[in-house]
Structure 1
Amino acid sequence: MGLTNMRALSLPMALCLAALAPIETFAQDDGQVPRLQQLVFPPLPDGTPALPEDIVAALDRVLPSLTIPELSGFMEDGQLTSVILTRYYLERIAALDDHYRTYLEVNPAAIEEAQSADALRAEGTVLGPLHGIPVSLKDNIGTAAPMHTTAGAEILRDHAPEADAALVRQLRDGGAVILGKANLSEFAGAISLGLFLGGSTAIAGSGINPHGAFPTGGSSSGSAGAVAANLTTVSVGSETSGSLIAPSAWHSVVGMKPSRDLVSGDGVIPLLTTNDSPGPIARTVTDAALLLGVIDTGHADYAAALSLDALQGLRVGVLASELAAQKGNADLLQRIATALTLTGAEVGPASLSGWQSALSEFDLFLAGGIRYEMTAYIGSIRPEIDGPEALAAYYAADPDTRAPFGTPVLDAKLAEAATLSEEDFRAMGESLTAKAAELLDAAFAASGAEVLVSIDNDHSQVYATAGYPAITVPLGARSGGGILAALGSDGAGMPVGATLIGKQGADASLLGYAYAFEQASQLQLTPEISP
């Protein structure tokens, strides 16, 4: 679940905003809760020496600016190994993550997987572009024992599916090292948005934005935070409506929601299966393209579409009519226009006006997803949970342990879908998908554009519901406004992203456009972190 446009706040969103701590306490430990389970790190053989300080210092310095192909090149010529890279991240997680809370669990076999990757490379076998590269996974993505899949919830604390999710099997087949499970908004935001507008779970506590006193976004905040804080190379998050795009933008990293079903949802805990979509989170468009190529159902070579000239002469529609009126966005729209001009794009206006009215049933639809999909999944593991009412009662029986951040979203949704039949819920999904696709198709046609541009997750409900692809690229820091303006702050300094929306199935082209924009803008922010 993701945050919707501030002009169209849903009831649960309003409840969560009202419950937030004052903005000046963001990114502090006030309100933080202890982990229900501490991170356990894989043991090293007795006598294993510590990583040399000069290597750690070098990795601290260069890793935030290196792409996966560059890392792979260092592995190929023997300057780096997967074991060293994996150990570096594990040590960094051990030193930093008690504060940032980007992980719920570390893979106890991470070192063994890295050793296997190094051994294969030494034999001349490289399984793909992610061979030996550490990857974290949002913890609604299924991983078999010895790891768990909890969605951050105490009720699934010991849950380990019988098999890995389809995308996890693809990562393993491609030689990637599974580093661990990333924190999230519990059950993808269906319980509470927590302290910082996302990233709060009973198991791991509340994620903190490494860029400073800013929201983390939901629900893929652990994935975005780990990438931003250099606690993994890349991560796989998931999107329902803004839940991958928002945290990526707010952490100044690249995040992509692919076209519907481009990445298999098999083995992913559902919220709204018509909307749910796993996708890559990375520091660069290059890395996002490589990760998508490994986890997609077609194994396409998205990196081949990355070109500095991808936007040359292309019509780009900026959704300025809906964005310009929001405080602080004028400066951002100018940055977008400047970068697009540098790419050689033809920039013009586009509009999705009226989308809130067209998709007004979305909140009810989400309530139906909680009732008929999310709690149905929980009930398949815990049969006593036969609906959201039973889940709410479970939380209420031990709120300090099971719901340390409250259950305002779940509470607001309890009655909302009580009279909605499953048949009507399914029909509503088909109707909303068609309406959202119609809105986007009309915007593309009217503007003559091949790609639309928004800010952060302002139009996520439209493209996520339509099943169209979107990608956010860092746009620097806000000079003011944004979501913090609704919380009594001027918003200055908060990371922000330019979000490009593509046509259905045009994921490769969209990555090419994003790459050209990224290279022209060069506005990524790197947080200052001292272990």
Structure 2
Amino acid sequence: MTKIACLAGAAVVALLSTSAAAQASPPTSEQATQAYLAQIKAKNDLLRAVIAVNPAALTDAKARDAERKAGKVRSAIHGLPILLKDNIESAEPLATTAGSLALKDNVTGRDAPLVKGLREAGAVILGKANLSEWANIRSNNSISGWSAVGGTVRNPYVLDRSACGSSSGSGAAVAAGLAWAAIGTETDGSITCPAAINGLVGLKPTVGLVSRTHIIPISHSQDTAGPMTTTVRDAAEILTAIAGSDPADGATKAADSHKTDYAKGLSKDALKGVTLAVARFYTGYSPKTDAVFEQALKDLAAQGATLVELKEFDEGPIGRAEGVVLYTELKVDLAAYLASTDPAKVKTRTLADVIAFNKATPKEFEWFGQESFERAEKTKGYDDPDYIKAAADARRLAGPEGIDKILKDTGAVAIVAPTTGPAWTIDPLNGDNYGGSSTTLPAVAGYPHLTVPMGDVTGLPVGLSFIGPAWSEKLLLNLGYAYEQATMRRKAPTFKTTIAP
């Protein structure tokens, strides 16, 4: 039998067959793809994690098997099935909707550059993952994981709990075994929160390391795509495939100078002799989360890391500046994206058009409104002095005077913190009961942020964050890998109905 990379892991094999013979040998790409498609068919009505499957997935998988048989293996992810968050374009005859009915016919026939990178590495595009509609920027009262197109994503660990957002479907699908890996996108927390809450590894790269072209935007200052996987090595292999700027994105050549093999040299000893800053100001999500974090700190120290306590940091001014930036950039960047789509398929050409569409479409207002869209529509563009000041303040306060200063003052190479608390109960009437996260500093600075499973709270996963300076992905992946290999905290989901007494 033709074999795919061992990265597919025992989980894929278990999906294929219960026989000892099948489990002793890795499956072909075709078999793995069939298995994941079967899992989507069996579980997606429950989880609502996948919006659409790629009709050519099996054909593509067979082609990857033929290449392997002929001696052509493109990369470590050759033949492995990957889901794309449904704000990322691919050339398949699938709409890229951002979860909105306004974009239900948005079939572009274009590959985002990151998708091109995945194809060149031999990955199989399995389909599109559900998400918080418009990447959770429409309303402050939204439900993470809900979209008018896909419904509400459920957490596979406890089904009445949130999968977080906005890459909710990406997280739930990978955790539940509906895909080998997924690509999410983040503006502030949208990869790292759902990864942590679904027991996954999630990496938000330095903004600009991965092209933003042909991805429905919120903010060019903070948007980035990144991998969501069950292991750190898998995330590193995917980042290797998708990293790299392109001229249309306006990214600097710095992105290309940092394109490398991120999986090469991963070491179980990477924590030895390093200093890490402990961000105590990111604790307090729940007493039990704090207890799991304390164990994680002991584990880091046991692996040779020196821990320096950092008790206080005022994020307030950063958050206020971030709001001005995101709302201003949403209006301009979304209009630019909509202008690139086919007007015969996408009638909404501006944010104002989307606002009007939502008002005329009852399903869009089923659970919450669009006050954030309306606030963004009132912004005055990139020449507005308030925006210019906020953009400069936000990046300075979070980067040079934030993460960079913390690392310099403590002598640390990275910051560690709990990513967020455990998943909250889905509440369509009152919206998210979100208790905060450690995402804002790296999000606003545009710096990388890695989360790795650190344990669970009553069966609900929580993650450990590693935050570093710009372009420190290789360092963070190495630190996360050493922690992961020493602890192996990830557990498979249980699909409990509830944990309420």
- Shorter-chain TM-score range: 0.7 to 0.9
User: What stretches of structure 2 of length at least 5 have no aligned partner?
Assistant: 1-7, 15-20, 245-255, 421-436, 497-501
* 350 and 417 in structure 1: CA distance in 2 versus 1, 3 angstrom threshold: farther
Work out whether 1:198 is the aligned partner of 2:144: yes
Q: What RMSD over aligned residues (CA atoms) do the two structures have, in Å? A: 2.5
Offset at 1:426?
5.2
2:470 maps to which residue? 504
Answer yes or no: is 1:334 the counterpart of 2:294.
Answer: yes
Residues 1:463 and 2:429 aligned together? no
Q: Mark the CA change 1:244 to 1:65 in structure 2 (over 3 Å): closer, same or farther.
A: farther
Distance 1:294 1:303 in 2: 11
Q: How far apart in 2 are the matches of 1:431 and 1:147?
A: 40
| Distance in structure 2 (CA, Å) of the matches to 1:388 and 1:269 | 12
Change (3 A) 1:358 1:496: same
Q: Which shows bigger deviation, 434-443 or 343-352? A: 343-352
Q: How many Å separate the matches in 1 of 2:109 and 2:139?
A: 28
One-letter amino acid of the counterpart of residue 465, structure 1:
V
Aligned counterparts of 1:313 and 1:493: Cα–Cα separation in 2: 33
- Equivalent residue for 1:211? 157
Matches within 5 A, 1:375-524: 375-381=335-341, 382=343, 385=348, 387-400=350-363, 402-407=364-369, 410-415=370-375, 418-424=378-384, 425=387, 428-438=390-400, 439-457=402-420, 458-478=437-457, 492-524=458-490
What is the DSSP-based 3-state SS (H/G/I as helix, E as strand, rest coil) of the residue aligned with 2:320? coil
Encode CA deviations 1:7-34: one digit per residue, 9 max, x unaligned. xxxxxxxxxxxxxxxxxxxxxxxxxxxx
CA–CA distance in 1 between the matches of 2:302 and 2:13?
Answer: 22
Matched, 1:272 2:219: yes
Please say if residues 12 and 32 of structure 2, whose CA atoms lie closer than 8 Å, have aligned partners that are also in contact.
no
Measured after TM superposition, the shift of residue 352 of structure 1 is 5.7
Contact 1:185 1:192 in 2 (8 A): no
Q: Deviations over 1:245-296 (max 9, x none)?
A: 0000000110000111111111111111110010000001011111111111
Letter of the structure 2 residue corresponding to residue 340 of structure 1? L
Distance in 2 between residues matched to 1:287 and 1:351, nearest whole Å:
33
Residue number among 235, 252, 260 corresponding to 1:300 in the alignment: 260
Q: 2:275 aligned with 1:312, yes or no?
A: no
Question: Are residues 1:357 and 2:317 paired?
Answer: yes
- Code of the aligned partner of 2:153: G
Determine if the alignment matches structure 1 residue 263 to structure 2 residue 223: no
Amino acid of the structure 2 residue aligned with 1:476: G
Of 5, 10, 16, which aligns to 1:62? 10
Partners of 1:385 and 1:325 in 2: CA distance: 40
- 2:199 aligned partner, one-letter code: S
Runs of 4+ in 1 over 6 A off after TM superposition: none
Larger mean CA deviation between 357-366 and 493-502 belongs to: 357-366
Paired amino acid for 1:421:
G
Q: Post-superposition shift, 1:193?
A: 7.3
Residue 392 of structure 1: CA displacement? 1.8
Match of 1:226 among 152, 162, 173: 173
TM superposition shift of 1:162: 3.7
AA matched with 2:446: G
Amino acid at match of 2:451: T
Structure 1 pair 283–116 and aligned structure 2 pair: CA distance change class (3 A): same
Find the residue that maps to 1:423 and give its secondary structure. Answer: coil
Instruction: Tell me the CA shift for residue 61 of structure 1.
Output: 10
SS at match of 1:304: coil
CA deviation digits over 1:83-113, x for unaligned, max 9? 0000000011011101101111100000000
Confirm or deny: 8 A CA contact 1:194 1:206 kept in the other structure: no
The amino acid that maps onto 1:211 is: Y
Question: Which residue pairs with 2:433 in the alignment?
Answer: none
Amino acid paired to 1:63: A
Aligned residues of 2:206 and 2:471 also touching (Cα < 8 A): yes
* Mapped contact 1:193–1:200 kept (Cα < 8 A): no
Match of 2:60 among 98, 113, 117: 113
Cα deviation for residue 493 of structure 1 reads: 3.6
SS of corresponding position for 1:303: coil
On the 8 A contact 2:171/2:228 being kept in 1, the answer is yes
Do the aligned partners of 2:438 and 2:465 also contact (CA within 8 Å) in 1?
no
**Deviation of 1:173 (Å):** 0.9
Given the superposition, is the C-alpha separation of residues 172 and 529 from structure 1 closer, same or farther in structure 2, using an over 3 Å criterion? same
Deviation per CA, 1:194-244: give whole Å up to 9, x if none.
87x411111111100000032111100111111100010011101100010
Matched with 2:248 is: none
1:285 aligns with 2:232: yes
Is the alpha carbon distance of 1:468 and 1:345 closer, same or farther for their aligned partners in structure 2, counting shifts above 3 Å? same
2:263 match: secondary structure: helix
Structure 1 CA distance for aligned equivalents of residues 493 and 273 of structure 2: 35
Question: In 2, are the aligned partners of 1:474 and 1:497 still within 8 Å (CA)?
Answer: yes
CA contact (8 A) 1:186 1:192 kept: no
Give the CA deviation at 1:329: 4.0
| CA displacement, residues 420-446 of structure 1 (integer Å, 9 cap, x when unaligned) | 333233553243112210211111111
In 2, distance between residues paired with 1:317 and 1:366? 28
Structure 1: distance between partners of 2:470 and 2:357:
40
State whether residues 474 and 518 of structure 1, in contact with CA within 8 Å, keep that contact through their aligned partners in structure 2: yes
3-state DSSP class of the match of 2:42? Answer: helix
Q: Name the counterpart of 1:148.
A: 95
> Residue 313 of structure 1 aligns to which amino acid in structure 2?
G
Q: Is the 8 A contact 2:137 2:372 kept in 1?
A: no
Provide the residue aligned with 1:89 in structure 2.
36
Amino acid at match of 1:200: W
Deviation at 1:65, TM superposition (A): 9.6
Alignment-derived partner of residue 118 in structure 2: 171
Alignment length (residue pairs):
446
